[in-house]
Structure 1
Amino acid sequence: MLFSRRVVCKLLKFHHIFDRYSVNCSSSSELSSPLKLSFTTFETEAETALEPPFIILHGLFGSKQNWTGLSKAYHQQTSPQRKIIALDLRNHGESPHTSQHSYEYLADDLQYFLKDHSIGKIALMGHSMGGRCAMLFTLQYPKLVEKLIIVDISPVTTSPKFKELSNLFNVMNSVKMPENVPLREAQNIVDKQLSEYITEKSARAFLLTNLIKTDHQKYKWRFNIPALLSNFQNIVRFPPIDNLKYEGNTLFIGGAKSDYIEKSDYPKILKLFPKAELQYIEGAGHWVHIEKPNDFLKITLDFLNKTNR
């Protein structure tokens, strides 16, 4: 259980506070799509581009930072070696903030990134929200994607737990941020407050990676809470797709303890991605790559290194 039984009442208590906060998004720019995304690359100077680069898209509340360890492993173990690029999606990490957020905007940002960096075909992986961005981009631009990996998200159904993530906005906004303390101490202070609402330690640890210090020695959340909340329905739904399909090799990975990809979704997934494989990792929930990194790395490397049929 992600939230304790007391969470509902306490969330209602803070709801009116958050409503006032979400009206004004003064820290966000009103940039129109597309945005220039922040990214981290893993490559060597002597590297030859024998294979398309591998681009990784994080999920809601995530960032490229969450994929650093796996990105290094992919760069070392892909064969032939690939350039690895981890992106921060809009309103997350070090990428720009804007009031606009939908899968259409996210896909436009990715297309702009490829053009801006003169990148042609790519291998693409996305987790959760990033997975839906990856799916939409691939369906819109199938010739640009060599291989596709989707991590614990479906284009068919939406898990009730995904919809419940909206509660996290109120939880995070209720936190009294520390000032003038080292990062580790600040994380402990915030974690203690979060633990009153969020029972899973791994979920709290994931959120705490987004705690950063401002110029005034006060801490804040790195992602754009007001914009993500106001656009949450755009995040919950997968855009309607008419007469689009991707014929390339595709791998869906689900956590066996997660309900984000139901087995009953698979026939409908095949209509969009006819070559899709579906594998579940035992003992993993929604953050499958964090909970079972070794199993996840093996499955994804096997898929990436496999010669296209």
Structure 2
Amino acid sequence: MYRNLLRVFLSSGTSLTKRSVTTVSVSREIVPVDLSYNTYDNISSPTFGSPVLILHGLFGSKFNWNSLSKAFHLKTKPTRKIYSIDARNHGESPHTDAHSYEHMVADMIELHKKLNTEKVSLIGHSMGGRTAMLLALKYPHLIDRVVIVDISPTTGLGSSNTNIPLFLQSMKLIQIPASHSIHEARKIADQQLAKIIEIKSLRDFLITNLVKSEEDGSFRWRINLDTLERDYEPGVAKFPDVGGARFEGPTLFIAGGRSDYIDKSDYPVIKKLFPNSEVKVIEGAGHWVHSEKSTEFANLVLSFLNES
């Protein structure tokens, strides 16, 4: 069925003008990249707690966390600097031909050196949550405390992830002429994606990654579709084997009540790897807990961060 849908999708006519993006050609060895990030530190404070680094999920960007980043900076006690980060192959960070949790952790270590700070706290959603977990497990001396949003360290993923390769293929097939405005282009993209993806909110989220070049008016995706499609199964869908590693620091898992990304059967694994952890469930929220129930989410995170 999906193949037939893709054939229909491909036959829709016009072409998406291609534009070169910052691409780092690397081998499969771990070569870190210089990540793009936004900093929230407007409040003048004589003392700061450990800075908080926010890691978005697959298809996301640092801009998705703008409102929450401002709130966290305003309401943490002591005040904390907040860094909202674009993962490699996303947003304004470099595109590479490799994507895995090991690569993303190497990127974060490089960023940690750049920020020149002793310890950081982490908030990670979905793919970003698994990056945060692996970072804490491999480099516990660098991490103060961790918030993991609707993802677990088990091998699987929630049921809504089963079609992600199809989503990536579909986005690659979107065809838009450069003569259109960004508003028109996103409307066309929505119409084409609707042939494959029924959920409007999901289409809207994916389309936030469609941008128009100021240089030549062409359209491009801010995410590296080719690399993510190729590396999704081995690099994103599966959490790496961490052996006997443990993170003893305070850890909060926040699950959406309507989501199956954290199942009760995952709790023993969570406790084994993160013995000083607890799981909180926000009822009525799906996988995007932080946007669907932002007030409840922010209250949980601030209470946890302000414990220290």
- Common topology (TM > 0.5): yes
1:84 corresponds to: 82
- Aligned to 2:97, which of 96, 99, 113? 99
1:196 corresponds to: 195
Counterpart of 1:229, as a letter, is: E
- 2:64 matched to 1:69? no
1:34 corresponds to: 32
Q: SS at 1:61's partner residue?
A: coil
Q: How many Å separate the matches in 2 of 1:27 and 1:121?
A: 30
Match runs of 1:160-171 below 5 Å:
160-171=159-170
Q: CA deviation at 1:162?
A: 2.2
Alpha carbons 1:157, 1:265 under 8 Å: kept: no
2:124 corresponds to: 126
- 2:9 matched to 1:11? no
Match runs of 1:1-309 below 5 Å:
7=2, 9-11=4-6, 28-31=23-26, 33-44=31-42, 46-158=44-156, 159-214=158-213, 215-233=215-233, 234-307=235-308
Counterpart of 1:228, as a letter, is: L
Q: Summarize the Cα distance change of 1:116–1:283 in structure 2 as closer, same or farther, 3 Å threshold.
A: same
> Which segments of structure 1 move beyond 6 Å, counting only runs of 4 or more?
12-15
- What 5-or-longer segments of structure 1 have no aligned partner? 1-5, 16-24
Alpha carbons 2:252, 2:304 under 8 Å: kept: yes
Q: Summarize the Cα distance change of 1:26–1:124 in structure 2 as closer, same or farther, 3 Å threshold.
A: closer
After superposition, what is the alpha-carbon deviation per residue over 1:26-73, rounded to whole angstroms, capped at 9, x for unaligned? 963214611100000000263344300000000111110111111111
Q: How many Å separate the matches in 2 of 1:73 and 1:208?
A: 26
Aligned residues: 293
Counterpart of 1:189, as a letter, is: I
Q: Summarize the Cα distance change of 1:9–1:255 in structure 2 as closer, same or farther, 3 Å threshold.
A: farther
Aligned alpha-carbon RMSD (Å):
1.9
Q: How many Å separate the matches in 2 of 1:296 and 1:7?
A: 36
Q: How many Å separate the matches in 2 of 1:111 and 1:49?
A: 24
Alpha carbons 1:177, 1:220 under 8 Å: kept: no
Q: CA deviation at 1:195?
A: 1.9
Q: CA deviation at 1:185?
A: 2.5
Q: What TM-score does the superposition give when structure 1 sets the normalisation length? A: 0.89
Q: CA deviation at 1:108?
A: 0.6
Alpha carbons 1:63, 1:87 under 8 Å: kept: yes
Q: How many Å separate the matches in 2 of 1:262 and 1:271?
A: 15
Q: How many Å separate the matches in 1 of 2:160 and 2:192?
A: 22
Alpha carbons 2:5, 2:195 under 8 Å: kept: no
Identity %: 44
Q: What TM-score does the superposition give when structure 2 sets the normalisation length? A: 0.90
Q: How many Å separate the matches in 2 of 1:304 and 1:242?
A: 28
Q: SS at 1:124's partner residue?
A: strand
